[in-house]
Amino acid sequence: DTAVSQTPKYLVTQMGNDKSIKCEQNLGHDTMYWYKQDSKKFLKIMFSYNNKELIINETVPNRFSPKSPDKAHLNLHINSLELGDSAVYFCASSPQGSGGAIETQYFGPGTRLLVL
């Protein structure tokens, strides 16, 4: 009965590799997000999708490409991984896509990415 799930939970890889992180929500929400939490514990929004359409794209390198095959899934593909990409990546969802005016967001457990 997991609400927001992410795979994998841990990801260790070499610099230069390409990797993907998957996210699924079974809450019927319209909007999904990707956040990055760096080593200093700052959580920052990366992308937001509403009904499969990109609505927010913060200043993120082009190596990061989100893909939403349907509104229950939002995957994150990262090309040419760099050391600075090491972080915890959180997926989240919210019901209607206002981003939080009257609703909260539900977070996944996070994916811990370590680039060596």
User: What is the SS3 assignment for 106?
Assistant: strand
Instruction: Give strand pairing partners of 78.
Output: 19, 64
CA distances, 22 to each of 80, 81, 98 (Å): 18, 16, 23
Question: Please, what is the minimum distance in Å from the beta carbon of residue 70 to other proteins?
Answer: 20
Binding of residue 102 to other proteins (CB under 8 A)? yes
Report the DSSP pairing between strands 10-13 and 111-115. Answer: parallel
Q: Considering the complex, state which of residue 41 and residue 62 has its C-beta at the smaller distance from other proteins.
A: 41
- By CB under 8 A, the residues from 18 to 47 that bind other proteins are 33, 40-45
Let me know if 104 is exposed, middle or buried by CB neighbors in 10 A (0-12, 13-18, 19+): exposed
Q: Considering the complex, state which of residue 18 and residue 58 has its C-beta at the smaller distance from other proteins.
A: 58
Question: Please, what is the minimum distance in Å from the beta carbon of residue 77 to other proteins?
Answer: 21
User: What is the SS3 assignment for 83?
Assistant: helix
Question: Please, what is the minimum distance in Å from the beta carbon of residue 6 to other proteins?
Answer: 8
Summarize as ranges the residues that interact with other proteins (CB under 8 A).
4, 33, 40-45, 48, 56, 58, 90, 92, 94, 99-110
